[in-house]
């Protein structure tokens, strides 16, 4: 009997989800400054009170181009940065676009840092709510960018590049990545340790950094932190195999499959504390409830609030788009 964990189950990022500040602030940052397309406007599918769930990506909102956010300011709930959480997200831009983005971000008033990690040039700044955000200059990223944003396609963001996860203890995360998440340990650069999926490359990266003296970051929905990273798996059979493998390893608190409207997901709290999700896109993805021409243009009421539409629309903060 082959007891190896299933190979190539985790393919790449599916989406990265943030707990941000004001809805308008988040919307303007992602759609105007970063020039991503608003591909879905809905709300969290869980809970008793609605929280916006805003999706940004390329023309179709394809897997690994998606950043999503829960604007939390309305709730008054704050997150706390620290270790045991995803602490930064990195998106991919063409190498030829780095000077353009340096100027664009500065012109929009963002304080910029610049560094090189794993041989990649990186612009560092913060989302207006304080989340650490990066753009990495990547050659030959074949993903199609949003074709109709403020930024011309040849300079535009291609999609996710990587996430950085802060951990107290690398050993448990290394075991998780190898045995449960089918990742490959690539290399280190200073304090950073890089894991990749499949053939690796942009959109298939998780970097770990050991930070033993930071307080634990919050896990709940609260302004100013990354909430989780979702990873694409091919189909339900693979998702079931990932879940069974997790449970067989002792991660018995892996969630059941949850219907998120545009994809189906299982969630696991990884040993570091960072929440990971294994996601199967529905056949029509973001087009499940809107045609291409209407994508992202109207608010989609989550099923959990279907009989409270008027109430939740009155409750949610105004959003101009």
Looking only at the bridges linking them, the beta strands covering 52-57 and 37-43 are antiparallel
Q: Which residue's C-beta sits nearest to Fe ion? A: 230
Our separate counts of H helices and E strands in the chain read 5, 16
Least Cβ distance, residue 263 to Fe ion (angstroms): 8
Site string for Fe ion, 195-214 (x = CB under 5 A): --------------------
- Closer residue to Fe ion in complex, CB, 67/205: 67
Rounded Cα distance, 194 and 147, in Å: 31
Out of 226, 230, 233, 274, name the contact with Fe ion by CB under 5 A: 230
Residues 6+ apart with CB under 8 A from 239: 233, 257, 264, 266, 278, 280
150: which 2 tokens?
């403020």
- Closer residue to Fe ion in complex, CB, 66/183: 66
Which of 151, 154, 157 lies closest to 107 in space, CA to CA?
Answer: 151
Stretch that binds Fe ion, among 24-32, 226-234, 242-250, 313-321 (CB under 5 A): 226-234
Is residue 295 within the footprint of Fe ion (CB under 5 A)? no
CB 122 within 8 A of CB 101: no
Site string for Fe ion, 11-40 (x = CB under 5 A): ------x-----------------------
Residues 250-279 that bind Fe ion (CB under 5 A): 277
Looking only at the bridges linking them, the beta strands covering 225-232 and 275-281 are parallel
- Closer residue to Fe ion in complex, CB, 68/124: 68
Is residue 233 within the footprint of Fe ion (CB under 5 A)? no
Distance of CA 51 to the CA centre of its chain: 17
Which of 217, 190, 198 lies closest to 122 in space, CA to CA?
Answer: 190
Least Cβ distance, residue 301 to Fe ion (angstroms): 19
Note the residues at the interface with Fe ion (CB under 5 A).
17, 230, 277
């Amino acid at each position: 009997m082959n007891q190896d964990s299933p190979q190539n189950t985790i393919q790449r990022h599916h989406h990265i989800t943030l707990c941000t500040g004001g809805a308008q602030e988040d919307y303007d940052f992602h759609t105007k400054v970063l020039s991503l397309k608003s591909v879905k406007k809905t709300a969290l599918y869980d809970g008793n009170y609605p929280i916006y769930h805003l999706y940004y990506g390329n023309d179709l909102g394809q897997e690994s181009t998606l950043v999503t956010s829960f604007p939390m300011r309305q709730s008054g709930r704050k997150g706390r940065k620290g270790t045991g959480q995803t602490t930064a997200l990195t998106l991919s831009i063409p190498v030829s676009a780095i000077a353009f983005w340096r100027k664009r971000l500065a012109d929009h008033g963002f304080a910029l840092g610049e560094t090189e990690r794993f041989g990649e040039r990186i612009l560092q700044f913060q989302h207006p709510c304080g989340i650490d955000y990066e753009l990495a200059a990547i050659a030959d990223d074949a993903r199609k960018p949003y074709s109709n944003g403020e930024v011309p396609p040849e300079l535009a963001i291609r999609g996710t590049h990587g996430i950085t996860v802060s951990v107290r203890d690398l050993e448990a995360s290394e075991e998780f990545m190898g045995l449960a998440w089918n990742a490959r340990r690539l290399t280190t650069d200073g304090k950073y340790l890089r894991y990749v999926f499949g053939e690796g490359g942009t959109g298939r990266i998780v970097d770990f950094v050991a930070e033993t003296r930071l307080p634990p970051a919050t896990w709940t929905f609260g302004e100013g932190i990354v909430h989780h990273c979702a990873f694409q798996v091919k189909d339900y059979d693979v998702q079931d195999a990932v879940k069974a493998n997790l449970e067989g390893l002792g991660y018995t608190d892996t969630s059941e499959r949850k219907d998120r409207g545009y994809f189906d997901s299982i969630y696991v709290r990884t040993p570091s504390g960072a929440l990971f999700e294994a996601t199967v896109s529905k056949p029509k993805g973001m087009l499940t409830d809107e045609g291409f021409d209407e994508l992202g243009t109207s608010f989609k009421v989550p099923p959990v609030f279907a009989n409270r539409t008027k109430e939740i629309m009155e409750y949610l903060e105004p959003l101009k788009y």
